[in-house]
Structure 1
Amino acid sequence: MEQPPFHRSPHTAVQDVPDRNAGGDRQIKVLWASRTSPEPVSTPVQGQDDGTVALAPRHGHDGRAIRRFLEGRMSHGRLAVAVLAGALLLPAGAVAQQEVAGARDFPLIKRYEGSRLIGYESRPFDTVKLIVGKLTLGDNGQPAPAAVRELEGRHTRLLYLAPSQRSSLEVFRNYENELAAKGFTVLFKCSGEEQCESVGAEIYRVLYPPTKALQNNELSKVAFNVPAEPHYLAATLSRPEGAVAVSLYVAVDRSTAFPETKDRVAVLLDVVEDKPMEAKMVTVDAATMAKDIAATGRVAVYGLYFDTDKADLKQESAPSLAEIGKLLKAQPDLKVYIVGHTDNVGGFDYNMSLSQLRAKSVVDQLVQSFGISPDRLKPAGAGLIAPVAPNDDDAGRSKNRRVEIVKQ
């Protein structure tokens, strides 16, 4: 069967890729399409002799899937043409790109010697899901980690390109040693595809999908295009000025379409500092609390803050605690339940226990700091069973994390 002609445009390029199954003697012709191409990206992948047609996926980095398809086709002596929907064609100027302007290393963690900082982003307050378990394919067909920790705080994301002729293991071990020297505790660590991920649930799909790719330059957009030899760890460090959590992902890029990243190790470092969100909500004062309790029998308080996965009240909670103390002193006959509520991150039993412990922390502070009789206060944990908003996004989850004062 005659091979169909290539469809060429300013958004595509053809590349000859050596066929490893044939010792490199044969070539696979690959038609690469830009992620920003306005043309359809479901172009057929057609065999030379039997007319079999497959479609390249429409979304996301899927270099491995295309590579597996091509290798399978060539192992039977066929020539294939493919479209990689997740790829970007690097302009000529991309090869000489320098470090991101205005970016800097995270002060606590050194970079691997000779690396270039090609991607950078810093957010004053963000929610980050820290992967602390192997990824498998969920019932919904999406990658799902065995366990996650949801963190909030200042989020710094750094993307490095290591020097050539370095293995992903060497780079990973250097970072691992650096974190250990700084006192970090490793929560989860894996090396290789067997330990870290499953087919269809590769770790890069969660950490660096197209929707999360740093947009600093063309190199940052195509990082981890066809990642191999992955290594990952999650670690935390406790310190007086606030805890720090780190997500480290290291892999070598096997894509042959982009010379600047070909066979180079990329390092994705996410750092979350436990810093309070800038307070924009007005603290509910004692008078407002009294009115709400008189009208509905309860009042929700959002100005009580806790460290992630902990029950200890943070210093930023002082103004709201003072108003609760003022309310109780103004009404000496008032007895209340202090009820803790959580979002749906984590298991049922875990959240029930955590909400109970947090409620008890509030009661303890009211007794110790404001002299409220413990007979007037009863802590209770409602966990995740009484949401006031959907838990589908960060905004909803933040509304559900609250403490309520309920009249007995």
Structure 2
Amino acid sequence: MASFSLLLGLCSLAEASPFVWADKAGGKDHPLVSRFQGSMIQNYGVMNFEHAEVPVSSTKKEPVEGKVFNYSYYAPKERSPLEVFRNYKLALEKSRFKIIVACEDAPVCQKQGFEEYASLWTGKTGAFAGGYNATSAMDNSGNYPPLYLVGRLSRPEGDVTAVLTVKAPSSSEVPKGAGAVYFLQVIESIPMQTGNVSVNAETLKTGLAAEGKIALYGIFFDTGKAEIKPQSTPQLDEMAKFLTQQKAVKVYIVGHTDSQGVLAANLTLSQKRAEAIVAALVKHHKIDPARLSAKGVASLAPVASNASDAGREKNRRVELIEQ
């Protein structure tokens, strides 16, 4: 999707302030959600995978996970929080973002506690490049109540959530030539990369002894396919090691999918994937096939809700179940 620029309220930086501003070294706008025209990146940072609790009302927070982009901006002098806020709202709407929250009455926003979100994130050590920076922190003291906006773009490859907190400049920021001061967070909802750590043979033994089953996330397949990918080797090696050490153990290899797609097709796919694992253990590790039984149950035994990316990620798994 093409990015957009906030073109309302045009004002050159030279006209906005006598100060010479410059973006923090290495800083650049998010490709989907840019800055208000003439603003300066005061600080920025990227977190490859994080969990956020985004306020959507005074009493409700919505969990969002994925790649997190944090930006602290100064708008040009005399550009008000309301002007910045409405520019963002209009630009997001034009770019097919659904507006979830739009609070432009600062006292009401403060009463609902929306300023606490920006205060939390700008106070995190890992939120910005180079760690915590006091000049980037947005406090929630109430001296400068904020405006607050949340929008979301639905995409097949993962939703994008934009969270904007805008406030008036403090007494220390006015001399810098700042108009509105705003914190923009963009969260690209992508599943966490799993399989970085395989379940070792000892853990397999302990898990089966304790519960009779254990979930494995280190075996990989392309979407809709049953061919085992090469990065699955560490997990298969540990499964083989366990089965070699525990020669009396017989197990079901059970394939699970999420609920996306047609159930009948997913049942067939999960069965073929389970059979592929059995075949790999027999062919490459000489495990007696009589000890292994392949089963595919598709999405019929979820361990989390299939309504979210995070839940579907947990449901896509292989289980080892003692016979």
Identify whether the pair has TM-score above 0.5, normalized to the shorter chain: yes
Q: Distance in 2 between matches of 1:381 and 1:240?
A: 22
TM-score by length of 1: 0.49
Report the counterpart of residue 220 of structure 1 in structure 2: 136
Report the counterpart of residue 275 of structure 1 in structure 2: 190
Residues 205-257 of structure 1: CA deviation (Å, up to 9, x unaligned): 2322463375676642467776545221222213344322111111213x334
Report the counterpart of residue 13 of structure 2 in structure 1: none
**CA RMSD across the alignment:** 4.8
Report the counterpart of residue 172 of structure 1 in structure 2: 85
Alignment of 1:159-198 (within 5 A): 159-193=72-106, 195-198=108-111
Q: Distance in 1 between matches of 2:155 and 2:46?
A: 21
Pick one of 11, 21, 25 that aligns with 1:101: 25
The 1:118/1:383 distance shift into structure 2, 3 A limit, reads same
Report the counterpart of residue 213 of structure 2 in structure 1: 298
Q: Quick check: 1:149 aligned with 2:63?
A: yes
The 1:233/1:257 distance shift into structure 2, 3 A limit, reads closer
Q: Distance in 2 between matches of 1:165 and 1:294?
A: 66
Report the counterpart of residue 285 of structure 2 in structure 1: none
Q: Quick check: 1:238 aligned with 2:160?
A: no
Residues 273-293 of structure 1: CA deviation (Å, up to 9, x unaligned): 1334455624459x9998677
TM-score by length of 2: 0.59
Residues 325-361 of structure 1: CA deviation (Å, up to 9, x unaligned): xx9xxxxx96688899xxxxxxxxxxxxxxxx76999
Alignment of 1:103-122 (within 5 A): 103-122=27-46
Tell me the secondary structure at the aligned position of residue 110 of structure 1.
Answer: strand
Q: Distance in 2 between matches of 1:302 and 1:147?
A: 29
Q: Which moved more, 1:276-285 or 1:96-105?
A: 276-285
**Is 2:271–2:295's contact at 8 Å kept on the other side of the alignment?**
no
Q: Distance in 1 between matches of 2:216 and 2:224?
A: 15
**Is 1:196–1:231's contact at 8 Å kept on the other side of the alignment?**
yes
Report the counterpart of residue 284 of structure 2 in structure 1: none
CA positional deviation for 1:102: 0.8
Alignment of 1:200-349 (within 5 A): 202-209=113-120, 211-212=123-124, 214=128, 219-221=135-137, 228=144, 230-253=146-169, 255-260=170-175, 264-279=179-194, 281-283=196-198, 295-296=209-210, 297-303=212-218
**Is 2:23–2:40's contact at 8 Å kept on the other side of the alignment?**
yes
The 1:282/1:244 distance shift into structure 2, 3 A limit, reads same
Long gaps (5+) in structure 2: 1-18, 240-249, 276-293
Greater relative contact order: 1 or 2 (C-alpha under 8 angstroms, separation 6 or more)? 2
Larger radius of gyration: 1
**Is 1:184–1:236's contact at 8 Å kept on the other side of the alignment?**
yes
**Is 1:155–1:271's contact at 8 Å kept on the other side of the alignment?**
yes
Tell me the secondary structure at the aligned position of residue 24 of structure 2.
Answer: coil
Tell me the secondary structure at the aligned position of residue 179 of structure 1.
Answer: helix
Question: What amino acid does structure 1 have at the position aligned with 2:189?
Answer: D
Identity of aligned residues (%): 25
Long gaps (5+) in structure 1: 1-94, 135-144, 306-312, 328-332, 341-356, 385-396
Q: Distance in 1 between matches of 2:253 and 2:96?
A: 43
Question: How many matched pairs?
Answer: 256
CA positional deviation for 1:204: 2.1
Q: Distance in 1 between matches of 2:301 and 2:261?
A: 8
**Is 1:117–1:160's contact at 8 Å kept on the other side of the alignment?**
yes
Q: Distance in 2 between matches of 1:261 and 1:205?
A: 25
The 1:202/1:282 distance shift into structure 2, 3 A limit, reads closer
Tell me the secondary structure at the aligned position of residue 260 of structure 1.
Answer: helix
